[in-house]
Amino acid sequence: MYKILTSFLTSRTYFGKKPVLLIADPAVIKRILTTDFHLVRNRPESSAGHRIFGQNLVAAKGEAWKRIRSILNPMFSPLKLKRMEPMMEDCVRSMMTFLEREVKSGDKGRYSLDVRNTMGNFTIDVIAKCAFATDTNAHNSTSSNPFVTNAKNFFAFRPARFIAMSLLPKFVQKFLVKNKLPPLNIEEYDFFEAATKHMIEKRKEEIQQGRSNHHHDLLQLMLKAEEDKELVNSIENSTSATLSEEELASQREFREIIGTKYLTEEEVQAQAMVFYLAGYESTANTLSHLLYLLALHPQVQRKLFQELQQAKEEFRKPLTFTELQKLPYLDAVVSETLRLYCPALQVPREAGVDYPIPEYNLVVEKGTFIMLDIFHNHTSEKYWPQAEKFDPERFMGENREKIVPYTFLPFSSGPRQCIGMRLSLMETKLGVARILDRYEVVRTAKTTDRLTIKQGAFLLKTSPIWVGLVPRSG
């Protein structure tokens, strides 16, 4: 498939019986994500008819998506994330305590780290703490943590499930999901549905008892959005018999301003589920690949360590995200990692109208699946000389300005850009900064020269990653 796209910037393929148009032309990608967003704004249905999970931000369509997104956007503002940073630091300390214990038990102070497992524990801790003020204790579990296990299984590629979602009619898929029948009896949905429902019920009890004011997490903000529904409903149920004309006019004006800017209870649960799943996999992968690349490129690691140390001396304190986001080489290293190992290989869309692409004398029929091929553009020699080489200098100074627009889209772009982008970058930069402050990341006998890309359900999946950690002197 990708060999075809190195020669042609559009290509046709099929998802089951459904035609799919692959697009790699940056100019067309830009139009679809921004200028013509209103014509191609929805994603194809991917939740197999799951009643609650299908209401999440990623799967939502049309006006429902617009309403949910407008409610959630302020929850990921820089100010809100700043309030979450202490909770994230707690998770970083938990990870560092785990690493210290493991390194001491290693051979001559050198510890061979199963990177993806450790970073997965860290990211599940962060999303649980920042989104739900919950401790998963992932690093200290004596057995497999159920949150991590179910998140891993959710993203595992299962051929029978893939074939069923590709070929079976929608009504059959919905029947299988509703009755929990194979191959669409997705147990991970059930686990996260039950877990998030329990958290929501527990928090509502705290709210009723007046014990929730200290929470600044995403769940608290979403439940506040649900409270707005009761206010809107109270207006809807008011009658002219109980209100004066002036009061009715005032409340009609309020309703026009508020519109339907609230979340239902099921929508709150759906967002909670997708926060857990998306917050776990993508950032864990980025951190894992970043540490792997630093182990293979010690000269890059030394330069990054020097930048971090100079910043520590300048600010005379442990670096917070405010300071870390000002460091150009750290940002370049993270960006180059995201280029080589982009969490989402493609961005799916569905044509909402018969959509013309004049450059290719093509009209995409309404309802056609469109895949924007991010991975192809990230690894194309046309846009990145020596594309397979890890070279953070591509993103430094004037070099960054030379990047062809819309050939680097690790978080997509436009109105449907990943809403958790800032949270993910904060998590990644804090995590790698703390690790490098205490350890040098090195190769071990288990570290491979190349990673093999494997078949995944939605996101990039590679072969196992192992690196060594050596305590720094002083």
**% of the chain with per-residue pLDDT over 90:** 50
- The residue type found at 33 is L
Pick the residue with more confidence: 256 or 303?
Answer: 303
pLDDT tens for 26-49 read 999 999 999 999 999 999 876 556
Quick one: pLDDT band at residue 178, thresholds 50, 70, 90? confident
Distance, in Å, from the CA atom of 242 to the CA atom of 254, rounded to the nearest integer, reads 17
| Residue, of 248 and 317, whose pLDDT is higher | 317
What are the strands, taking DSSP E only, across 359-442?
362-364, 369-373, 439-442
Q: Which helix (H) or strand (E) covers residue 20, if one does?
A: strand 18-23
Helix (H, G, I), strand (E, B) or coil at 447: coil
Closest by CA position to 76, among listed 280, 324, 269, 279: 279
Residue 371 pLDDT > 50: yes
| Distances, alpha carbon 187 to alpha carbons 28, 193, 197, in Å | 39, 10, 15
Report the predicted TM-score, pTM, of the whole model to 2 decimal places: 0.85
Express each pLDDT in 199-234 by its tens digit: 888 888 888 887 766 677 888 888 877 665 554 454
User: What SS3 string covers 125-188?
Assistant: HHHHHHHHCCCCCHHHCCCCCHHHHHHHHHHCCCHHHHHHHHHCCHHHHHHHHHCCCCCCCCHH
What is the Cα–Cα distance from 179 to 191, expressed in whole angstroms?
16
Q: Is residue 250 pLDDT above 50, yes or no?
A: no
